[in-house]
Structure 1
Amino acid sequence: MDIKMDRKVKAWVPPEKIWNVWFISIFFINMALNFGQYMSNSLLSLYAKEMGAPAEQIGMLMSMFAITALIFRFVAGPAINAYNRKIIVAMAMGCMASAYFGFCLAPEIAVFMGVKVINVLKCFRLLQGVGSAFAGSCCLTIVADVIPREQFSSGMGIFACAQVVAQAVGPTVGVCLKDRFGYTTTYFIFGCIMVCAILAASTIRLAPTVRMPFSLKLQNMIAKEAVLPAAVTLLIALGFTSINAFLLVYAQERGIHGASLFFTVYAITMLFTRPVIGRLTDRYGFVKAGIPSVFATAVSLAMIGFSTNLPMLLLAAFVNAFGYGAVMPALQSLCMRAVSLERRGSASSTNYIGQDLATLIGSTTAGYVIAAAGYTPFMWIIMAVPVLLGILVIFLCRKKIYRIENNFKSGR
């Protein structure tokens, strides 16, 4: 194999604590990435509607992001393995910045080119999906490089809190900026945040790694060593996507008011659960720490189904934060532990492919379940089935998981 090695091997000193300067930089980049996406996603459909786009075109605009991101995950892994990760994350954030500046200038570009504004928005939405595919995978790869080995899961749990904060306040901040300054200035601010993330990328220093040649072969696009945790991720996320898609509608059908507080309680609780489950995973291993969390996810889905008032629904959110919210960073950690340093790009992409597939499949599956069973507790029981299958997979494959963790601890 034709490989390249960083020349500054002797100069590299592994970090001794989680909150080192490189971790702080990649944490900021990840937060900027997620803030931009959550703020933008809450506004883009409204922006397109104000520009006169019909409903079906708005739906296409919103779905293009997930499809594009999924497709380019398969390219991101080999690229991250082959090229400088700092440059890749900077270029990916550059794509995100260009997309937001494009949204800002969409009406002017449409007039200049003589096309509809919705078509301009679609082009920049595609660019946003490409940037997200590379940035998300690259951030996960880089953070795995700058976390102390003995605190690996704890560090991944803390890193994942950036997404929690963005999810909790991003949409609200986006709407407030839009109400105060308008769409154009708001998207310009998003673009400037991405530029700051590019500058942060320049401060990161990475461990020397063996660089693999770029190749779009299956073994480079998907890390077979990480398929097990990615498959568990897919099963668990299938259940959770039904919450994002149908919780508010279900609550409305059941006469529960204030259901949007579910996501607030869920996000706030995750700020505690993610670092805690990370520490437990470092100490006791994924099987002992992960199975209770996955079970909590299934329990929370059943609790949603049988909720008749807001306090019961918020209790389900609290339980879910100990479940899905806490176990996902632990699964990401397991993905990264499963591969050698130079294949972490493929592992991170494999992890996100599992999540993307769950997003695309889960909502559709839940829709068919609702069509057959209606908005009843039974629909949530059905959506808990793949989560319970995830527990079965973890139990049956526990020896392989132990082997992954032991190999990582021994440096193999």
Structure 2
Amino acid sequence: MNQQGERQKIWTREFIGMSLSNTFIYVAQYAMIAALPIVIMTEYGGGDVEAGLAMTFFQIGTVVARPCAGILIDAVNKRRLMISILTVFFILMCSFAFAATLSALYGLRLVHGVVFAVATTTAAALAALILPPARKGEGIGYFALSTNLAMVAGPMIGLLILEYFTPTVLFAALSVLAAISIAAGGAHRLPDEIILPAKTGRALSVTTFIERRALAPALIAGILFFAYGSVLTFIPLYTRSLGLSSETSLFYACYAGAILVTRPFVGRIFDRKGSDYTVYPGLALFAAGMFLLGNIEGLSGLIAASLLLGAGFGAVTPALQTLAVRSAPPARAGVATATYFWSLDISVGLAAAGLGVVAVTYGYAFTYSIVDVAVIALGAVCYALWRRSART
């Protein structure tokens, strides 16, 4: 292959390493989401409130650390930062096995949130910088698959281990994943122009923590994640109310499968045609999936809704992430990536609280078919207005 072809490659060893490292970080998190409530109830004698606090402390750590992560990434050697934070991640996973009290467990989850924010932001920023400019949309779409696949694999791994083994075995398994993530994320050397910080001389201000040019796509993505947060939070309870609780894992599998099948196409369309050709169709599919989810009566409807949601969500979010990262110069890639993810962290947390009130008052079906569709429509309007202003 000629030099030009080499520069246009997506699947380099470095990109694969970052994708694998990101996958293992997210697998550990989703395994924790599914398994920790059970561990807290069976091993610590806690109840629903205590189980929920484990996620609360994690979210606090993530939301607080995300803006600082962006500054850190742009200020230091990115490869060294990646290796260092993954090493801390490994030590943290090992430490969960020795948490003797709930207070200790909550403290570890708080630190886990901080480490998760820094590690995932670093991996995403490096992956975006490694990708060739002409194929950045397609590449970020592939990179985002690591999160989607982890959403399916993580809960399955966590629950299967707890079904047959002890929590100590669970944390040991997650420690092994953390060790593999170090090898995947830090094994390859990267060019100095990617990993070394640029000397900007920027004074400390709000824009130090938030990349203004990435704010619009980040906020639009946050609106969509607000709707998606209701799926992430309430789908197990909703399927149980429909008598389909045993099919919840199938919902997530079909959702991830739809993303896996459509992602190569939407990434290429983004790079060749532009974001409008992926965002608008994706929003339409996502809204249709939410409406169908609120009006299902059986398994076939649940699967159809998951496929529509996967295809729509998988088309929109990588496009907005690419727009956020591409809007800033390479020297601000870390802050731009952090700005994008920070918006998502806050939106998912607000969805769990705000939409929880709606769901309890009016039901899950109403929340999905009316409220979420209205939220997605708002996102479409904001995107249209932003794109119009960007062209003028």
TM-score, with structure 2 as normaliser: 0.91
1:362 aligns with 2:351: yes
The Cα offsets for residues 197-231 of structure 1, whole Å up to 9 and x where unpaired, read as: 22331414145152446875311211000011001
Cα 1:178–1:68 shift into 2, 3 Å: same
For structure 2, the residue ranges without an aligned partner over 5 or more in a row are: none
Change (3 A) 1:156 1:182: same
What is the SS of the residue equivalent to 2:193? coil
The equivalent of 2:148 in structure 1 is: 164
Residue 26 of structure 2 aligns with an amino acid whose one-letter code is N
Q: Distance in 1 between matches of 2:264 and 2:9?
A: 14
The 8 Å contact of residues 242 and 366 in structure 1, kept in 2 or not, is answered as yes
2:90 aligned to which of 86, 94, 97: 97
Tell me by how many angstroms 1:358 deviates.
Answer: 1.0
Question: Structure 1 residues 378 and 91 mapped into 2: Cα distance closer, same or farther (>3 Å)?
Answer: closer
d(CA) in 2 for partners of 1:256 and 1:47?
A: 24
Are the aligned partners of 2:230 and 2:355 in contact in 1 as well (CA < 8 Å)?
A: yes
Partner residue in 2 for 1:226: 214
Higher helix share: 2
Aligned to 1:155: 139
Q: 2:79 aligns with which of 86, 90, 96?
A: 86
Distance change (3 Å), C-alpha of 1:45 and 1:127: same
Change (3 A) 1:338 1:47: same
Aligned residue type for 2:118? F
Q: Which amino acid aligns with 1:218?
A: V
- Taking the aligned partners of 1:321 and 1:363, their CA distance within structure 2 comes to 20
Q: Do 1:235 and 1:386's aligned partners in 2 also have CA atoms closer than 8 Å?
A: yes
Counterpart contact for 2:251–2:306, Cα < 8 Å: yes
Contact 1:296 1:320 in 2 (8 A): yes
Long gaps (5+) in structure 1? 1-12, 108-116, 404-412
Deviations 1:107-156 (A, max 9, x none): 3xxxxxxxxx1111112111211110101111111001111111111101
**1:75 aligns to what?**
68
| Amino acid of the structure 2 residue aligned with 1:246 | F
Residue 237 (structure 2) pairs with residue 249 (structure 1): yes
Matching residue of 2:57? 64
Instruction: Tell me how far 1:33 sits from its aligned partner.
Output: 0.8
| Cross-structure match for 2:306 | 317
CA separation of 1:400/1:138 partners in 2, compared to 1, >3 Å: closer, same or farther?
farther
Distance 1:47 1:254, change over 3 A: closer
CA contact (8 A) 1:14 1:146 kept: no
Equivalent residue, structure 2, for 1:336: 325
Structure 2 residue aligned with 1:126, among 110, 114, 121?
A: 110
Deviation at 1:396, TM superposition (A): 1.4
Is the alpha carbon distance of 1:353 and 1:205 closer, same or farther for their aligned partners in structure 2, counting shifts above 3 Å? same
The answer (yes or no) to whether the contact 1:300–1:319 under 8 Å persists in 2 is yes
- TM-align CA RMSD: 2.1
- Matched with 2:171 is 187
Q: Distance in 2 between matches of 1:104 and 1:315?
A: 40
Shift of 1:386: 1.6
Cα distance in 2 for residues equivalent to 1:192 and 1:251: 33
Contact 1:373 1:379 in 2 (8 A): no
Give the match's secondary structure for 2:344: helix
Which residue of the partner structure matches residue 279 of structure 1?
268
Residue 224 (structure 2) aligns with: 236
* Cα drift, residue 299 of structure 1: 1.3
How many residues are aligned here?
A: 382
State the Cα distance separating 1:257 from its structure 2 match: 5.3
Alignment check: 8 A CA contact 2:8 2:135 kept: no
1:256: how far off?
4.2
| Aligned-pair CA distance for 1:258 | 3.9
Deviations, residues 305-353 of structure 1 (Å, cap 9, x unaligned): 1111110111011111111133111111111110000001110111111
**TM-score, reference length from structure 1:** 0.87
Give the match for residue 35 of structure 1. 27
Distance, in Å, in 2 between the alignment partners of 1:132 and 1:352 is: 11
1:273 shift after superposition: 1.8
Q: Is the 8 A contact 2:135 2:271 kept in 1?
A: yes
AA paired with 1:249? L
1:136–1:402: structure 2 CA closer, same or farther, 3 Å change rule?
farther
Q: Aligned partners of 1:256, 1:165: CA distance in 2, in Å?
A: 22
User: Could you tell me whether the CA contact under 8 Å between 1:274 and 1:329 is conserved in 2?
Assistant: no
